[in-house]
Amino acid sequence: MTHFDKDRDVTAQQGMCGDVAVLVPAAGAGTRLGPGAPKALRLLCGETLLVHAVRRVVATFGVGCVVVSAPSTEVRAVDRLLEAVRASAPAVGISVVVGGTTRQASVAAALAAVPSRFPIVLVHDAARALAPPELIERVADAVRNGSPAVIPVLPVIDTITRVDDLGVAVGTVDRSSLRAVQTPQGFRREILVAAHEAAVDDHTDDAGLAEKIGVVVHTVPGDEVALKITRPLDLALAEMILARGVR
């Protein structure tokens, strides 16, 4: 497990001429969390998931730009929420755009707002609110060191099977070569732009889009703390993680 502390804010500011832009799609409804505010605006230990996520992003070395996609009705509210993060990391440009009806559309909207001086673009999820700076840095470093596209992955712990239309198991999948994919995912900027321009159908992540145009996607180790907060139990787990002192 990794720790997020004030010293890292200083590190981030040293990276003020950073080469990394991070897109944070946060326009999802979050219906699987139950009724309430859009998912990114749900509270975790008194702070929204979005603010947790962006605090960790701006504490990452090399990050100079963050673009958040917000629900169309919440752009001003999201912008206000981010004021405190802006104050803590004045060297990082943080902007908010209107998200789309799919995650892919929300990413595309944020990507269009990234200034051209950033050669590395990471795509994160506000829902992975506790993804630590070390993980974000690992992904950015892999791109910096020459990978065109990078995903953080974890081994799959459950047995996975395919089922047919009747719910009958039709084949257990060998899990030894399977990995669960997290965010942030990292790209050379031109690769991500090309992948989105070529997109014809909807994908749940950006590495999937990049694969479609023949890009080789490399992996780095993920982090259990970067769990995707989707269901009520995930929120309870995230609270426990924070209660254990992981920032």
Query: What residues make contact with ligand C5P under the rule CB under 6 A?
Result: 25-28, 39-40, 69, 99-103, 106, 125-127, 204, 230
- In the complex, minimum distance from the CB of residue 213 to ligand C5P, in angstroms, rounded to a whole number: 21
- In the complex, minimum distance from the CB of residue 230 to ligand C5P, in angstroms, rounded to a whole number: 5
- In the complex, minimum distance from the CB of residue 20 to ligand C5P, in angstroms, rounded to a whole number: 19
Reduced to 3 states, what is the DSSP secondary structure of residue 160?
strand
- In the complex, minimum distance from the CB of residue 183 to ligand C5P, in angstroms, rounded to a whole number: 8
The smaller minimum CB distance to ligand C5P, of residues 49 and 61, is found at 49
Reduced to 3 states, what is the DSSP secondary structure of residue 19?
coil
The smaller minimum CB distance to ligand C5P, of residues 27 and 96, is found at 27
Closest C-alpha among 37, 148, 152, 54 to residue 110: 54
Q: Is 181 exposed, middle or buried (0-12, 13-18, 19+ CB in 10 A)?
A: middle
Instruction: Measure the CA–CA gap between 37 and 24, rounded to whole angstroms.
Output: 17
Q: Give the helix/strand (H/E) hosting 58.
A: helix 49-58
Instruction: Measure the CA–CA gap between 41 and 21, rounded to whole angstroms.
Output: 22
Contact 64, 118 (CB under 8 A): yes
The smaller minimum CB distance to ligand C5P, of residues 161 and 204, is found at 204
Closest C-alpha among 156, 160, 180 to residue 170: 160
- In the complex, minimum distance from the CB of residue 45 to ligand C5P, in angstroms, rounded to a whole number: 18
The smaller minimum CB distance to ligand C5P, of residues 14 and 31, is found at 31
The smaller minimum CB distance to ligand C5P, of residues 27 and 153, is found at 27
